[in-house]
Chain A
Amino acid sequence: MADPGEPVRSAVGDRGAWPVLPIIGYVLLFALLPVALLFGQGLWAGGGAGWIDALTQSPLNRQAFENSLEQGSLSAVLAVPIGYPAGVFLGRYTWPGRSAVRAFLLVPFLLPSIVVVLGMLDLFGPSGTVSSAIPALGVLGHGLPAIVAANLLFNVPIVILFTALGCESASSELEETAATLGGGPARAYRDVWGPGSWLGAAAGGFLTFLFSAVAFATPLVLCGARCYTVEARIWYLDQYGFDPTGAALLALALFLFLVIPTAIYLVLLHRLRSSSSSVRTRPRPGRVRSPLAYALAAETIALLGAVAFFLGTVLYRSLSPPGGGTFGAPWAELFGPAATHLLGIPLVQVLANTLFFAAVAATIVLLLGILAGYALGARPRLATGLSLYLFLPLLISPVLLAFSLAEFWRPVLGGESTVWILIIVSQSILALPFALQSLQIPLAGLSPAARDSARVLGAPAWIAYLDTDLPQVRRGLLTAGLFAFALGLGEFTATYFLVTPNFATLSVAVYDLQDLRQFPLAEAAAGLLLLVSLAVFAAVNYGGNRAEL
């Protein structure tokens, strides 16, 4: 029997799957090939087979791996139990404002990491809003607790969303049937919807591990060298240790380190998506009545309140720094000559860079999405292979991508004046797996009937695609583009690795300003970046489909 989630191939007028070639070529040229060459170069210069021994002789390298493992595991282990109850509440119960909350939960994922880091300092740093009132919570302002807390802010919403998706993937018919056979709520949990929720939570947990193990800004700002993840250590070795070979070998080790958790995450994601696309679901039966539902609601409200409080604090502190001064003054200074002097270029140009890079990266993702849509309509069986291929960049951490692009494409493109091209490329490659997620479900649901009719009526393959398929996935495409734009706006790690002063983006400016101890200006820049990200997020939800992780 055909998989119900699998698109049906058009019966009329074959069309070629050649548009898949630019997608394959783009990822190959700007991600896989540079990374492979970087690894080859590292192995060549680093002594071949004994490279792992050589690498692990450095205590700092070993420490970086331990840190990645510790920060990733701790964040995942905490994110799952914190996010699971709220995920169940979101996926199992009907209540007013449910879809708005679901949309709001994507905000932390889209938040620039540097803004989150600065927000942690605003709340829990030496003169933080919370740590001033409750000094014991100052522990969250520095070191491992701060890093894990920042990771949780990003990732708990991911666990919530995946858990909710898992709950919703259970067939309501099956659940009703189990009940009529005598299975109570506990059996329904065990036999029908519980396994889906565990699957979702596990997928969220593994994604949390992947993000946290390669975190860059959090250990960099909130702790320093002793907390560096492998990602930060690679950056340090290349930029300050002047050891590109060591950095390349460490990058290879990180790549191998990520293979198993990435594979597990992809398997879980595939199972989650295939089960959720193969069931007919009625609206969830649960209404908020029982004590359990009230407890789940309370946890959800507390988490949402924490995120809202965090965002509010970042915005407020950007306008009103703790040392006093006129309300709004840091924003005015941000656009003044002092900030220009510190950053090397006017903030307007920083803002223009940010928007331009993100817009071009999003356009690339959008074009690749349109081509993918055409190719998948021609060859639905390509779907699994293509989506696996597009997930390969998940294995390539932002620093590794930036490092390999800098090593192999910067000389080809002609040095520093063309760095902006590499920033755009890196942003588009990093956004690709997540942005195209939003497109996968509408693409899988494409009906060939309208396309066949257009072909029978005489439309060439491309016209039929533009007239029938594209309108069906238009909103998915828009979401993918906006999602890529939002991710590009806040991208810090790869951009920071590649950037030169002329091409600074807002996230880089935030980091540079706080590095120069210009905290009010850094916070104002973070507030500006947050506002821009929120505006894009609003557009994602207003103009497109629900974005998917």
Chain B
Amino acid sequence: MPSSEPPVLEVEDLSVSLGRTSVLDSISFEVAPGELLSLMGPNGSGKTTLLRTIVGLERPARGAVRLDGKDLRDVPVHRRRIGLLLQEAALFPRRTVYENVAYGPLVQGRSLSETDTEARRALELVRMQGFEERNPATLSGGERQRVALARTIAAHPRVVLLDEPFAAIDAGVRAGLRGEFRHVLAERGIAAVHVTHDREEGLFLGDRVAILLEGRLRAIGAPATVYDAPLDVGTARFLGYNLLPEGPGWMAFRPQDARLDPIGSVGLPVDVLAVGFTGRGSLVVVQCASGERLEVELDRHAARPRPGEHLALSWERSLRFSR
């Protein structure tokens, strides 16, 4: 969790270009010991490039990355003590699970007994005891990611970077795996930066969350703060707010803050386009006269409208953004 201790990772005014294209522009943030920062953004926003730059796989055009106060500019990747977990687990195919997990301590020059202790402890932490002699090819996606996490932890990183590690995992396994990762990292007190395009995952996992749009950091803070009070229209759109043009700017409201009433009630006249069941209730897609399509979340007790119905849309709470 965030603490008053000095930050373990500092990213300051970081800019990165790939070829002639500017991918990241003046990114700054800090990660406290044991903290998990979720960095959210749509595809192409520069999330992966940011992680690759922190770990040393890309060179920044400007700015600095510091670990425990030390500038990493001239520190090669293998000496940075920053772990990286990818969407594909990237396990060594011709090594067993145990050999994969023992790889880090071994290449760092630890003794065999120390390596063995570290590897077994890490495997136990991710509940993969008994899989030591298995070939990675025989594991499920979730098991592979747990082995990859064990391998990362066994290498004793100061910070772990998670690059959408759950994106290729079946939905049924994903939720449990997220919780397990969160627990393991907290248990070991390892700071982490997790990137995802899935806002629910980011909000769930992060002690703090940050929004990265078009290479710029638009917001950073506690999940509820960032979600409840987006600072600009781009962030609001990414977080799932409905947007309506209003004068020279935009008006935004959340789907769960909206309601639909019979026509004639106070509200914006809309046509119902589609209605779907979500488990918790219904999701209704409506279109207003100006052509905007908006989403409304209704709880299970609310009456489900029918496609084609004319209704009045109203909302409890809204935000306003200038253009």
Q: Are A1 and B103 in contact (CB under 8 A)?
A: no
Comparing A81-89, A170-178, A481-489, the segment that makes contact with chain B is: A170-178
Q: Are B92 and A181 in contact (CB under 8 A)?
A: no
Q: Are A183 and B55 in contact (CB under 8 A)?
A: no
Q: Which residues of A contact B79 (CB under 8 A)?
A: 182, 184
Q: Provide the A205-244 mask, 1 if CB < 8 A to any CB of B, else 0.
A: 0000000000000000000000000000000000000000
Q: A182 with B84: in contact, given A174-B90, A191-B92, A285-B57 (CB under 8 Å)?
A: no
Q: A180 with B137: in contact, given A171-B90, A173-B86 (CB under 8 Å)?
A: no
User: A187 contacts the other chain (Cβ, under 8 Å)?
Assistant: yes
User: B215 contacts the other chain (Cβ, under 8 Å)?
Assistant: no
Q: Are B92 and A182 in contact (CB under 8 A)?
A: no
User: A342 contacts the other chain (Cβ, under 8 Å)?
Assistant: no
Once bound together, how far apart are the Cα atoms of A171 and B88, in whole Å? 11
Once bound together, how far apart are the Cα atoms of A178 and B56, in whole Å? 13
Q: Provide the B138-160 mask, 1 if CB < 8 A to any CB of A, else 0.
A: 00000000000001100101000
B159–chain A nearest beta-carbon distance, Å: 10
Q: Are A181 and B107 in contact (CB under 8 A)?
A: yes
Q: Which chain A residues in 127-176 approach chain B with CB under 8 Å?
A: 171, 173-174, 176
B85 (CB) vs chain A CBs: closest residue: A177
Once bound together, how far apart are the Cα atoms of A182 and B137, in whole Å? 24
Q: Provide the B18-62 mask, 1 if CB < 8 A to any CB of A, else 0.
A: 000000000000000000000000000000000010011100000
Q: Are A181 and B103 in contact (CB under 8 A)?
A: yes
User: B80 contacts the other chain (Cβ, under 8 Å)?
Assistant: yes
**How many of chain B's residues have a CB under 8 angstroms from any CB in A?**
26
Q: Which residues of B contact A179 (CB under 8 A)?
A: 56-57, 76-78
Q: Which residues of A contact B80 (CB under 8 A)?
A: 180
User: B294 contacts the other chain (Cβ, under 8 Å)?
Assistant: no
Q: Which residues of B contact A174 (CB under 8 A)?
A: 90, 92
Once bound together, how far apart are the Cα atoms of A171 and B152, in whole Å? 18
A523–chain B nearest beta-carbon distance, Å: 47
Once bound together, how far apart are the Cα atoms of A171 and B92, in whole Å? 10
Once bound together, how far apart are the Cα atoms of A187 and B86, in whole Å? 20
Q: Are A182 and B78 in contact (CB under 8 A)?
A: yes
Q: Are A180 and B82 in contact (CB under 8 A)?
A: yes
Q: Which residues of B contact A183 (CB under 8 A)?
A: 78, 103, 107
Q: A178 with B103: in contact, given A184-B76, A184-B78 (CB under 8 Å)?
A: yes
Interface size class of A (residues with CB under 8 A): 10 to 19
Q: A182 with B155: in contact, given A1-B137, A177-B84, A285-B57 (CB under 8 Å)?
A: yes
Q: Which residues of B contact A177 (CB under 8 A)?
A: 84, 86, 90
Q: A181 with B155: in contact, given A176-B57, A187-B107 (CB under 8 Å)?
A: yes
Q: Provide the A356-377 mask, 1 if CB < 8 A to any CB of B, else 0.
A: 0000000000000000000000
Q: Provide the B66-81 mask, 1 if CB < 8 A to any CB of A, else 0.
A: 0000000000111111
Q: A181 with B137: in contact, given A173-B88, A173-B90, A176-B57 (CB under 8 Å)?
A: no
Q: Which chain A residues in 32-59 approach chain B with CB under 8 Å?
A: none
Q: Which residues of A contact B84 (CB under 8 A)?
A: 176-177, 180
Q: Which residues of A contact B165 (CB under 8 A)?
A: none
Once bound together, how far apart are the Cα atoms of A176 and B54, in whole Å? 13
A173–chain B nearest beta-carbon distance, Å: 4
Q: Which chain A residues in 444-498 approach chain B with CB under 8 Å?
A: none
Q: Are B107 and A180 in contact (CB under 8 A)?
A: no
Q: Which residues of A contact B88 (CB under 8 A)?
A: 173, 280
Q: Which residues of B contact A184 (CB under 8 A)?
A: 76, 78-79, 107
Q: A182 with B57: in contact, given A171-B90, A177-B84, A177-B90 (CB under 8 Å)?
A: no
Q: Are A182 and B90 in contact (CB under 8 A)?
A: no
Once bound together, how far apart are the Cα atoms of A285 and B18, in whole Å? 13
User: B117 contacts the other chain (Cβ, under 8 Å)?
Assistant: no
Once bound together, how far apart are the Cα atoms of A181 and B92, in whole Å? 12
Once bound together, how far apart are the Cα atoms of A181 and B86, in whole Å? 13
Q: Which residues of B contact A173 (CB under 8 A)?
A: 86, 88, 90
Q: Are A182 and B86 in contact (CB under 8 A)?
A: no
Q: Are B92 and A180 in contact (CB under 8 A)?
A: no
Q: Are B55 and A180 in contact (CB under 8 A)?
A: yes
Q: Which residues of B contact A191 (CB under 8 A)?
A: 92, 103
User: B7 contacts the other chain (Cβ, under 8 Å)?
Assistant: no
Q: Which chain A residues in 265-323 approach chain B with CB under 8 Å?
A: 280, 285
Q: Which residues of A contact B56 (CB under 8 A)?
A: 179
Scoring B77, B84, B155 by chain A CB atoms within 10 A of each residue's CB, the highest score goes to B77
A283 (CB) vs chain B CBs: closest residue: B18
Q: Are A182 and B76 in contact (CB under 8 A)?
A: no
Once bound together, how far apart are the Cα atoms of A419 and B137, in whole Å? 55
User: B202 contacts the other chain (Cβ, under 8 Å)?
Assistant: no
B81 (CB) vs chain A CBs: closest residue: A182
A177 (CB) vs chain B CBs: closest residue: B90
Q: Are A176 and B77 in contact (CB under 8 A)?
A: yes
User: B223 contacts the other chain (Cβ, under 8 Å)?
Assistant: no
User: B83 contacts the other chain (Cβ, under 8 Å)?
Assistant: yes
Q: Which residues of A contact B57 (CB under 8 A)?
A: 176, 179, 285
Q: Which residues of A contact B92 (CB under 8 A)?
A: 174, 178, 191
Once bound together, how far apart are the Cα atoms of A190 and B78, in whole Å? 15
Q: Provide the A88-102 mask, 1 if CB < 8 A to any CB of B, else 0.
A: 000000000000000
User: B104 contacts the other chain (Cβ, under 8 Å)?
Assistant: yes
Q: Are B152 and A181 in contact (CB under 8 A)?
A: yes
Q: Which residues of A contact B55 (CB under 8 A)?
A: 176, 180
User: B318 contacts the other chain (Cβ, under 8 Å)?
Assistant: no
Q: Are A182 and B108 in contact (CB under 8 A)?
A: yes
Q: Are B83 and A181 in contact (CB under 8 A)?
A: yes
Q: Are A181 and B90 in contact (CB under 8 A)?
A: no
Q: Which chain B residues in 146-181 approach chain A with CB under 8 Å?
A: 151-152, 155, 157
Q: Which residues of A contact B82 (CB under 8 A)?
A: 180
Q: Provide the A414-445 mask, 1 if CB < 8 A to any CB of B, else 0.
A: 00000000000000000000000000000000
B51–chain A nearest beta-carbon distance, Å: 10
B58 (CB) vs chain A CBs: closest residue: A285
Q: Which chain B residues in 67-125 approach chain A with CB under 8 Å?
A: 76-84, 86, 88, 90, 92, 103-104, 107-108
B190–chain A nearest beta-carbon distance, Å: 13
B101 (CB) vs chain A CBs: closest residue: A181
Q: Which chain A residues in 187-214 approach chain B with CB under 8 Å?
A: 187, 191
Q: Which chain B residues in 192-238 approach chain A with CB under 8 Å?
A: none
B291–chain A nearest beta-carbon distance, Å: 32
Q: Which residues of A contact B83 (CB under 8 A)?
A: 180-181
B279–chain A nearest beta-carbon distance, Å: 32
A191 (CB) vs chain B CBs: closest residue: B92
Once bound together, how far apart are the Cα atoms of A255 and B38, in whole Å? 64
A180–chain B nearest beta-carbon distance, Å: 4
Q: Are B151 and A181 in contact (CB under 8 A)?
A: yes
A33–chain B nearest beta-carbon distance, Å: 42
Q: Are B76 and A181 in contact (CB under 8 A)?
A: no
Once bound together, how far apart are the Cα atoms of A508 and B218, in whole Å? 73
A128–chain B nearest beta-carbon distance, Å: 47
Once bound together, how far apart are the Cα atoms of A462 and B181, in whole Å? 51
Q: Which chain B residues in 257-281 approach chain A with CB under 8 Å?
A: none
A-B contact pairs, 19 of them (CB 8 A): A1-B137, A174-B90, A176-B55, A176-B86, A177-B86, A178-B103, A180-B77, A180-B84, A180-B152, A180-B155, A181-B107, A181-B152, A182-B79, A182-B104, A184-B76, A184-B78, A187-B78, A191-B92, A191-B103
Known: A176-B90, A183-B103. 19 other contacts (CB 8 A): A174-B90, A174-B92, A176-B77, A177-B84, A177-B90, A178-B107, A179-B76, A180-B77, A180-B78, A180-B155, A180-B157, A181-B104, A181-B152, A182-B107, A183-B107, A184-B78, A184-B79, A191-B103, A285-B57
